[in-house]
Structure formats: structure tokens, C-alpha cells
């Protein structure tokens, strides 16, 4: 069975790669598509549905497998790029002061900040940048419960700016693999440039 591996690739590459392989697949033949990106999964499924493929999705530990059966000889909607509409960026930034949201109970604050960040990728108007300083830099660790959402936001063009002094203070340099490690001068520039600033 043919396997189209698009793991590690962002839209529109997974759909373009799939479209390129489709002519080599016979009608009623089964094949698999692998992806590790939620947005790419949704866009691939829309593309396959519009082109009359039978599909079934299997969720693995860290990626998805789309089981497909080709039903038509020709593609009904061959424009792969149209399935990856660029998100709308707004002229605002989000500045995170701590790894909690609001003042009060710390456990509640952790729950709220997780919900806030994890809901951002689904918004139509994304921020230009997200800035993290003081204890909020802990949210950018690769083990953080919002790491995947931050990675997805970065793939959509949101700039992740992290305070380098804060990373050193918390000794987490080896746990950061996203964003731009920057300094307070650059962070100040962002905050002066964008008059619309959200503080969660």
C-alpha cells in the first residue's frame, strides 16, 4: 500500500504532495497519508472529500493516518493551494507577564492560561506577535501543555518572542525550541510599535 508521508510539513505542502501522487494511484486503490499537524489534517480531509475519496482517520501517539480509497479517475477540485487560506493577522500583540492568567488562585490561573492559548489557533484574527517574559517563559518549554498550540501559531505566522534573560534565570535554555530568543530592547520596540496590546 502506498504511503504519502507529510509529517513535519505545513500547508499547502501536504496537499500538494498528495495531489502529485494521486495520478500514480489506480481507481479503487487504497493508500495512506501521514500528517502530524491538526490544520493540515483538516485541510487534507476537505480536499479528499471534495474529490470523492473515501477516508478514515486514525489518531496515533504523535501523528494521524488517513486511510484513503481513490474513487474517481480525475480530481474534481484540483486547486490544492485553495485549501490553505492564510489566516488574517490583526495589528495587535499579546504580552504574557506570568504563566498564569489573572490574579487569585494559581491552579485556576494555570487552567485559564492553558485554555486561552489553546483557543488562539482557531481565531480568525491572529496576533502579530506573542511576547513572553518573567515566569511566562515557562509556557514556551517543549514540555508545556500549550507548546503544540504555540508551535501551530508560529506556523501560521505569529511571532513568538521570548525574553532571553528570563530563560537564563529559569535555566530552561535547552527546553526552548520555538520562537525568537530576544532582549528587553526588542520587546520594548514591539510594545511601542503596536498600540493595541492584550495582557491576559
* CATH value at residue 129: 3.40.1260.10
Does 121 lie in the same domain as 159? yes
- If one compares 117 and 123, the residue with the highest pLDDT of the two is 117
The residue among 83, 113, 144 that closes a domain is 83
- If one compares 86 and 21, the residue with the highest pLDDT of the two is 21
Average pLDDT over residues 182-199: 90
What CATH number should be reported for the domain holding residue 29? 3.30.110.40
Does 92 lie in the same domain as 6? no
Does 93 lie in the same domain as 34? no
Does 133 lie in the same domain as 55? no
Does the structure show a pLDDT above 60 at 86? no
Average pLDDT over residues 10-20: 88
Residue with cell 502579530: 128
Does 181 lie in the same domain as 113? yes
Predicted confidence at residue 3, as pLDDT, reads 96
Does 140 lie in the same domain as 98? yes
Does the structure show a pLDDT above 60 at 87? no
Structural domain tally of the chain? Answer: 2
Neighbours of 90 (CB within 10 A): 14
Average pLDDT over residues 161-173: 96
Does 105 lie in the same domain as 23? no
Give the contacts of 54 (CB within 8 A, at least 6 positions apart).
68, 69, 71
Does the structure show a pLDDT above 60 at 52? yes
Does 188 lie in the same domain as 102? yes
The residue among 48, 83, 118 that closes a domain is 83
The residue among 65, 83, 101 that closes a domain is 83
Does 96 lie in the same domain as 75? no
Does 126 lie in the same domain as 35? no
pLDDT tier, 85 (very low <50, low <70, confident <90, very high otherwise) = low
Predicted confidence at residue 44, as pLDDT, reads 93
Does 113 lie in the same domain as 75? no
Hey, what's the torsion of the CAs at 37, 8, 83, 157, to 10 degrees? 80
The whole domain housing 57 covers 2-83
pLDDT digits (tens, 9 = 90+) for 88-114: 556 899 999 999 999 999 999 999 999
- If one compares 197 and 82, the residue with the highest pLDDT of the two is 197
Does 101 lie in the same domain as 38? no
Does the structure show a pLDDT above 70 at 131? yes
Mean pLDDT score of the chain, rounded to an integer? 91
Amino acid at each position: 500500500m502506498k504511503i504519502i508521508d507529510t509529517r513535519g510539513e505545513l500547508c499547502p505542502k501536504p496537499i500538494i504532495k498528495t495531489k502529485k501522487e494521486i495520478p500514480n494511484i489506480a481507481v479503487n486503490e487504497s493508500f495512506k497519508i501521514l500528517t502530524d499537524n491538526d490544520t493540515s489534517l483538516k485541510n487534507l480531509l476537505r480536499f479528499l472529500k471534495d474529490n470523492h475519496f473515501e477516508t478514515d482517520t486514525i489518531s496515533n501517539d504523535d501523528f494521524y493516518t488517513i486511510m484513503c480509497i481513490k474513487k474517481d479517475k480525475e480530481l474534481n477540485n484540483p486547486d490544492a493551494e485553495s485549501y490553505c487560506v492564510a489566516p488574517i493577522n490583526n495589528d495587535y500583540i499579546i504580552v504574557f507577564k506570568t504563566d498564569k492568567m489573572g490574579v487569585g488562585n494559581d491552579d485556576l490561573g494555570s487552567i485559564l492560561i492553558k485554555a486561552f492559548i489553546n483557543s488562539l489557533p482557531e481565531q480568525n484574527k491572529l496576533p502579530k506577535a506573542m511576547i513572553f517574559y518573567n515566569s511566562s517563559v515557562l509556557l514556551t518549554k517543549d514540555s508545556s501543555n500549550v507548546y503544540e498550540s504555540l508551535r501551530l501559531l508560529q506556523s501560521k505566522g505569529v511571532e513568538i518572542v521570548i525574553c532571553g534573560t528570563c530563560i537564563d534565570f529559569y535555566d530552561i535554555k535547552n527546553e526552548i525550541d520555538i520562537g525568537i530568543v530576544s532582549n528587553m530592547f526588542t520587546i520594548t520596540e514591539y510594545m511601542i510599535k503596536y498600540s493595541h496590546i492584550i495582557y491576559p
